[in-house]
Every structure is written in structure tokens, then in C-alpha cells.
Structure 1
Amino acid sequence: MARLLEFLHAVKSDPSLAAPVEILDHDSTSQDLGDVEVDIEQRTFGSRFTAARYLHERLSGTGLGNIDQDRGLWAWLSLFYFEELCPPDKKGKRTPGEDARWVPDSGHAFRYYRHLLAGPYRIFHAHRTNPERAMILLCGPLHQPGDIVEQLASRQELVTNASLLATATALYLDGTTALPKRGAASTEKLNDRTRGKPGTVRRLVDVYKQFDLAWDLYSMETEAVITLLPTEFTRFRS
């Protein structure tokens, strides 16, 4: 993990540096899984959902223990899929971002969800019976999680709320582009406090919490929940 972070810090100023893939199977920087066999192939995923589904299929049921919390495992996978997680821009520059995107920060759940692979995997696993309902958090490319992930994955009670995420997906996911609709995560400043603009994701969270006091939202169909929402959400309903 230290070698990986050392490389990521260096590649910001020298994008020509090659990823140190040799440390993936070197005795001093890797650990043999023993009797556990996991078949992970080099491939391009194209989206957070595809990556999460693939890794869930390959890792679940293998006998690996404590997958969610294995920082070394997710750091290893991050380096293995480095090219897709940190593609160069038109000028050849790479922007790895903060360390938590590569080595999970186990001290804070929000920062753990910022990991480019462990984050989508955890969301998929939490909603594995119907992962499509969480698509608003699993759409888009791996290297660009987006503002909605920042807003909804910041708290455990939100990212695991099946009814809320199904409602958010129905409202804000563009069926044509398979990406969030424009303006879904917009915010504004009010007295030095950030709040969501009318009809946006942050407003949905606020309104949902209010309605949850009077309605059993978990037992309601998604469309029924949407019909309860005030008119500020009208522009996202189609």
C-alpha cells in the first residue's frame, strides 16, 4: 500500500511513470491467498455497476474473509485496474485524487465509500437482491463517482436505505444516457450553509426524512413514494 501511494503521488507530476505492477505478486509486497482461489482477469468495465457486479461475483463465496474491510485487497485491485481508474486526459496528465480513492480509509465509513472499487462493491453488496435500485450510485465511469455519490454515501443510513435509493434512481437517472440528470446534485449557499436546490438530491433526503415520520415508505412502491413528493420535484419526474 505504501508503494502504491508513493507511485500515485509521483505520477501527478510525472504522468509518464509506469504503474509498478510488479509489486502485485512480489513476495515483499503481496500475500499469497493459500488455499483460496480467486480468478480476476484484466478487463475494462466501463461503469461502476459493471465493476461492482463483476467483483461481487468473483469475490463472494470464495472463502475470503472480511472482504469489505480488507484494505490490502482493495489496494491490490486498484493497482491491477489502474489504467481505467486513472486514465490520462487529452494532455496526458493523470489525476489520481485523494489517497482514500486507492487505499480504503477504514477509520471513516464515508471515506471508505470514496474508494473507486470498494465503494461500488459495498453498495452492490448492500443491495444485492436488487442492485438496480441503487443505480443512481452505480452509474457512470469508475474514475468519476460524481456529486450524488458524495451526497448519499456520506451516511450509512442513506446509502443502505433501499426505498430512498430506489426513489432517487427513478427521479434522477437519465434513461437515455444512464447518467444522472443535469442539475440533480445542484446546491446553493444560504447563510454559510450548503443546501440543495429545489427538487435536488439533498432536498429529496430532507423531504424523505419528514415523510418517513408519517408514512411507511419501506412498504410503498417507488412510484407511490414519488407521487407524495411536492411540486419542486416535478421537473425530475419524467
Structure 2
Amino acid sequence: MHNVLSRFTEDGLQEFGKWLQAGAPGALPAELLSDSSFAERLPGDREIAQTQFADRYEFGVGLVALLSDLDAQIVSFDRGLWSWLAAFYFEQLCPIGPDGKRNLRKEYVYLLTDARTNYRHLVRTPWFLVKTHGERCRFLLIGRKEELAAPLSRQSYLLDQLAARQFVITSPSLIGAAARLYSDARTGQPTRGAGAKGSGSPRRLALIANQLSLTYDIHGMPVDQLMKILPEEFGARWR
């Protein structure tokens, strides 16, 4: 499928929401993506193709390229755009399974709702991470080889824990530290146990970082220096 990059109007957002609430039955109604009542084209009439992405990092790279000439500050909070893109890529975000049903998740992962849940949106989040951190964020957007037949359909617990805190997910030094702690240096994949909740976990990293920021400029600190001031709980078990 080819289409012209667009954003939902208010009516389009409502109709997409109704379709999701009905269980996303069958194929997305084609008119939602292109009918002027529901969608308005972005300037430039740039064509968008239904590319199949191998993982969420590749998806993020593609989105950054697609939106490269738009103002990132404005784009970042455009509900109509991100929701339209979720509708366009819906068969990758929520495919119909062998049983003929979709494994539909919370509405806000498809329909951008508000700032509190923006980090859970399945299209905006990979764009934001790649736009902000480039290749350094790859470990947050790929799964282990044995995971997910539909790689765009959900994000990891590791990413959920880090992205829930804006000061973490926007910080190059903290993302660099997280990459060292929770990804395999050889494969770039998240390590087993990276989604743990206890000592040395991503949740603890966010908490400790918040405490350290009262004394240190951790966001302007080189990753090597930040690693040295982390407590022992982030020691041998993770490194």
C-alpha cells in the first residue's frame, strides 16, 4: 500500500478510536487514511510506502528519515500524525493471528492520548529514541532472537521502565550507562534479566540517577565517569 503522509483530523481521531474500541475488526477502513473528512495531507505530499520492518530500531530509523524535514518539536506532540501512522502500519503493530483475532492492546499504544502515556505509543517512541540517541538506543528497540513473531507489536519491559521517566530517556549519559548494564556488547541485544525489578534493575537505575542528580551533573557526564559513581548493586551481576 502507498499513501500520502497525512495526519488525522479530530473526526479521524474519533473514528480510529471507535474502530479500536470495537476490537479493530477486519482490515482498517481505507477511507480513514485518505478521506479528507478524516485525514489531512502534510505539506509536500510525500508518499509513504507500507515497508515491512525487521524490528523497532529499523522502524525508528525509517520514521526519522520520513519526517526529517519537519520540525521535531512540533511533530513530537502531533496526536493526529502519530495516530495516523499507527493506523497506516496497523497490520504490523497488531496483526491478525492464526485464530483470526488480533492481540489488541491498550488504546493509547495506537492512539496518542496524553503526555503521561506518550512513551508507550508504538510509533512515536521508536522515532523519538532514534531521533534523540541514534544507534545508541538500538538495544531498547530490538528483542532477543526467540521473541516476537510481530516485532513492532510491543515494547520491552526494559524500555517501559526507562521511558516512563522523561529525565532518563532524554539523557545520552543515562542511555549509554543503561546500554552497558543491560545489553550484550557482542550482539547488542538486551541481556537476560534486563527486565528484573530488584537490585541493579532499570527501575533502580532511574531512582539512583534521580538521587545522584542532586549532587552531580549526570546528564553532562561521560558514561565512563557515570559508571564509576553508580553504587555496587550495578556491579558484577550486570557488568
TM-score range, shorter chain: 0.7 to 0.9
Closer, same or farther in 2 for the Cα pair 1:112/1:64, shift >3 Å? closer
Partners of 1:97 and 1:122 lie apart in 2 by: 21
Per-residue CA deviations over 1:48-70 (Å, capped at 9, x if unaligned) read 21111111111121579821122
Q: How does 1:67-216 map to 2 (within 5 A)?
A: 67-106=75-114, 109-125=115-131, 127=132, 130-140=133-143, 141-175=151-185, 178-187=188-197, 197-216=198-217
Q: CA deviation at 1:42?
A: 0.8
Contact 1:103 1:115 in 2 (8 A): yes
Percent identity over the alignment is: 35
Q: CA deviation at 1:29?
A: 1.5
Q: CA deviation at 1:222?
A: 2.2
Aligned positions, number: 219
Closer, same or farther in 2 for the Cα pair 1:64/1:232, shift >3 Å? closer
SS of 1:40's equivalent? strand
Which of 17, 27, 31 aligns to 1:5? It is 17
Q: Which residue of 2 aligns with 1:194?
A: none
Does 2:31 match 1:22? yes
Q: CA deviation at 1:213?
A: 4.0
Does 2:58 match 1:50? yes
Partners of 1:63 and 1:185 lie apart in 2 by: 34
Contact 2:165 2:206 in 1 (8 A): no
1:122 maps to a residue whose letter is F
Q: Which residue of 2 aligns with 1:193?
A: none
What TM-score comes out, normalization by structure 2 length?
0.80
Contact 2:140 2:190 in 1 (8 A): no
SS of 1:66's equivalent? helix
Partners of 1:154 and 1:136 lie apart in 2 by: 17
What value does the CA root-mean-square deviation take over the aligned residues?
Answer: 2.5
Gaps (5+ residues) in structure 1? 188-196
What TM-score comes out, normalization by structure 1 length?
0.80
